[in-house]
Amino acid sequence: MEEPVAGGALLDAVRVRLAETGAEPTPARVAAALRSQGRLLGDSAVLRVVEALRSELVGTGPLEPLLADPAVTDVLVTSPEEVWVDRGGGLERTRVRFTDAAAVRRLAQRLATSAGRRLDDARPWVDARLPDGTRLHAVLPPVAVGCTALSLRVVRPRAFGLAELMAAGTVPPGGDRLLRAMLDARLSFLVSGGTGSGKSTLLSSLLGLVGPQERIVLAEDSSELRPDHPHVVRLEARPANQEGVGRVGLRDLVRQALRMRPDRLVVGEVRGSEVTDLLIALNTGHEGGCCTLHANAAADVPARLEALAATAGLDRAALHSQLAAALDVIVHLVRDRAGCRRIAEIHVLERDGEGLVATVPAARWSADGFVAQRGRQRLERLCARGGVRG
């Protein structure tokens, strides 16, 4: 295990000394501050103190090397001695250490400030996007027991191509043909799955396949989608300010997006009453729209949408009526025990004798390609709208 470069009390004393003079933490100034504390350190030790101080003052501090790793998708801090990363194969504990819990708190507060948000005892949690697009979530003690809980989700500057997703096992061999057929036919689809299953990654890749002449309008609570497409308009929700005013919710964004002449209306993640506006939009000529949704299985999606629609006052019968006409396909992702993300199945929708919508499996993942299920013929008929068969 790596030892901290210096004790927390010593670093605090040096930090205060530099703050009093307004000096940058150069090696000479740090050495002078150390001498004022009665500490004489060698050149290498002084440089380590300099690096420790700079890491707290700029960037993401000691987490910077982890976030710079192109394979890392998540960085999680649970205590000064516990820093975890996810490189696509599950969580791994790293050798990165903070000097103490106060250092974790300072970093979380500084990052929140850089995102224009408040994080203190009066408002002990924050969910925001950093200037580079990284998603920040932090909770301060005593709500987080013992130490500030810090979570960072990396948003990569470019989307993966379908070929890369097939190489990674997310899309089975030959599965790109079926996905392309769905897009060419302008089917409205929903990407479902659990947290960290790769919903945004897959949706970004699929949007990159949309024709360059089409206009994509994205409405997101926090900007995460990065489709490789020449015509994308991004709308992002905004929380209320410290006076409690100025909030712009996802439902507001969906309504504004409809007035922006979208060829494809995309909602980054449906999690509330905006589901009603999305379904209405998809029922009024906006074909090819899509969104993501947290769900444990594709078959759970109708019930999940029922719960969300109830928050907007839409009853069960009305929701299912809208759903049957608005949505064509559900693409469900899972993350297995080895940490691999993959499309588990693709479902189509059909109404039962009571008029309620149920999902029907059309394709199931296998190592050799999608395996046809009983809803495959319906999916092929839907894809035939675009003159392409999956």
**Is pLDDT above 50 for 2?**
no
The 3-state DSSP class for residue 244 equals coil
Q: What is the pLDDT of residues 271-285, one digit of tens each?
A: 888 888 888 888 877
Residue 205 is encoded by which pair of tokens?
A: 């890749």
Residue 335 is encoded by which pair of tokens?
A: 């993350």
Q: Are 343 and 335 in contact (CB under 8 A)?
A: no
| Max intra-chain CA distance, the chain | 83
Measuring CA to CA, how many Å separate 154 from each of 73, 125, 193, 335?
Answer: 5, 19, 19, 18
The C-alpha R_g of the chain, in whole angstroms, comes to 25
pLDDT recorded at residue 38 = 66
Task: State the alpha helices, DSSP H only, in the chain.
Answer: 8-21, 27-36, 43-57, 64-68, 101-114, 162-168, 175-184, 199-207, 250-257, 274-282, 301-310, 316-326, 376-383
The 3-state DSSP class for residue 111 equals helix
How many residues can be counted in the chain? 390
Q: Are 4 and 102 in contact (CB under 8 A)?
A: no
Q: What is the pLDDT of residues 198-219, one digit of tens each?
A: 899 999 999 999 999 999 999 9
Q: What is the pLDDT of residues 75-108, one digit of tens each?
A: 999 999 999 999 877 889 999 999 899 989 989 9
Question: φ and ψ at 45, to 5 degrees?
Answer: -65, -40
DSSP assigned state of 238? B
Residue 108 is encoded by which pair of tokens?
A: 């979380």
Dihedral of CA atoms 238, 239, 244, 249 in degrees, nearest 10, equals: 70
pLDDT band at 39 (very low <50, low <70, confident <90, very high): low
Distance CA 249, CA 221 (A): 7
User: Which is nearest to 269 in space by CA: 284, 245, 251?
Assistant: 251
Q: Are 156 and 296 in contact (CB under 8 A)?
A: no
What pTM was computed for the model? 0.77
